[in-house]
């Protein structure tokens, strides 16, 4: 379970960086830049000390990355400026847990025990209590301040977040399938190498999306920032947010994510990762002047209780 806990921590820190990168560069370009840098960093490790593109499950990892990293990451980057990080993270992280459990059950036949299912539900309920509603701990960034400000764009943001949740949940299950194929052939693969093979699939989708955007419009429209930020956020140049987004997300976060999925069902791993939005709130409080509400602390307590139970439940 250590890998799942570390994944939640890295993803929580990464959320703020992803928002800053999306605001500066646009969703498609920001997603492409982080995947390109991640492929270079992870590829250096994979080809120097790992299995590179070998291992016997490259095809599965490539598809997993195309679905989770590619489609899931792209739609997440575009949802962030439209509905804000609180609602985006809630839908994506919690929705992906539900999607992964359903897909894993239907496809791989991996059922959760009654205790695991109950504790997973408690974890997701805690996240929902903390973040759902107008009093959530993180305000939206960009021109959308409330659901009534621009209903079509708000609805688009919700739809993109739902697609991202389904894609990331599906990508997680495909990774489980890849690890099953490795195990069946007696192979072992470290988390960084599997993350690299996944990133290649995501980079292919990200590159295609960027080419389509540039070909159709010649450039990418960026979201004008209207929400005040703290001095540390203003002082950092845009490229620093891309680097931090890459290190905390595709490199360290996904490496730990793959480590967790190698040994545990996705329906158990993803609810733990779903607590990342709760951990994001204190970071956003410092950088985005977003103060957590009492609802946040209640939800956090429920989620932490569920996560603690998942770590020991059988």
pLDDT tens for the chain, 314 residues long, are 788 888 888 988 887 788 888 888 888 999 999 999 999 999 999 999 888 888 888 999 999 999 999 999 999 998 887 877 767 877 888 888 778 878 877 887 777 788 878 888 888 888 888 766 544 444 444 444 444 446 777 788 889 999 999 999 999 889 888 888 888 888 888 878 888 999 999 999 999 999 998 887 666 666 555 444 554 555 678 889 899 999 998 888 877 877 787 777 767 787 788 788 788 777 777 776 666 678 878 888 888 788 777 766 76
Domain count, the chain: 1
Name the residue range of residue 78's domain: 2-312
Within 185-314, residue ranges assigned H as helices are: 191-217, 231-235, 238-246, 252-263, 266-273, 276-288, 294-312
pLDDT at 234: 58
Torsion angle of C-alpha atoms 246, 249, 255, 257, degrees rounded to 10: -170
pLDDT at 314: 64
Question: 69 and 171 in contact (C-beta within 8 Å)?
Answer: yes
> CA 283 → CA 31, 188, 264, 289, 292, distances in Å?
21, 36, 29, 9, 10
> CA 57 → CA 82, 165, 188, 206, distances in Å?
37, 24, 11, 22
pLDDT at 143: 41
pLDDT at 34: 92
DSSP 186: T
For residue 260, give the 3-state DSSP assignment.
helix
pLDDT at 132: 66
Question: 268 and 101 in contact (C-beta within 8 Å)?
Answer: no
Question: 285 and 39 in contact (C-beta within 8 Å)?
Answer: no
The tokens for 25 are 């560069």
In angstroms, the CA 81 to CA 161 distance is 11
């Amino acid at each position: 379970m250590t890998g799942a806990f570390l994944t939640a921590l890295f993803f929580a820190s990464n959320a703020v960086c992803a928002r800053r990168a999306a605001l500066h560069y646009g969703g498609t370009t920001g997603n492409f830049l982080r995947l390109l840098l991640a492929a270079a960093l992870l590829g250096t490790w994979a080809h120097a000390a790992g299995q590179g593109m070998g291992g016997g499950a490259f095809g599965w990892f490539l598809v997993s990355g195309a679905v989770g990293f590619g489609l899931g990451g792209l739609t997440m980057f575009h949802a962030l400026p439209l509905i804000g990080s609180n609602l985006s993270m809630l839908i994506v992280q919690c929705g992906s847990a539900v999607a992964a459990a359903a897909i894993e059950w239907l496809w791989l036949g991996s059922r959760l025990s009654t205790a695991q299912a109950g504790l997973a539900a408690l974890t997701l309920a805690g996240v929902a209590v903390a973040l759902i509603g107008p009093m959530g701990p993180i305000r939206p960034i960009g021109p959308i301040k409330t659901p009534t400000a621009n209903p079509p764009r708000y609805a688009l943001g919700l739809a993109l977040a739902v697609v991202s949740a389904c894609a990331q949940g599906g990508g997680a299950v495909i990774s489980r399938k890849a690890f099953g194929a490795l195990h069946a052939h007696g192979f072992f693969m470290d988390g960084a190498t599997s993350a690299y093979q996944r990133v290649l699939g995501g980079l292919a989708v990200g590159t295609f999306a960027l080419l389509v955007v540039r070909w159709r419009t010649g450039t990418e429209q960026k979201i004008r920032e209207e929400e005040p930020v703290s001095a540390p956020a203003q002082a950092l140049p845009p490229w620093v947010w891309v680097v931090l987004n890459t290190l905390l997300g595709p490199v360290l976060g996904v490496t730990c994510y793959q480590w967790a999925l190698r040994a545990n069902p996705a329906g158990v791993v993803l609810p733990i990762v779903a607590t990342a939005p709760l951990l994001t709130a204190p970071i956003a409080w410092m950088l985005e002047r977003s103060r957590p509400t009492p609802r946040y602390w209640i939800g956090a307590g429920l989620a932490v209780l569920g996560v603690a139970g998942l770590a020991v439940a059988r």
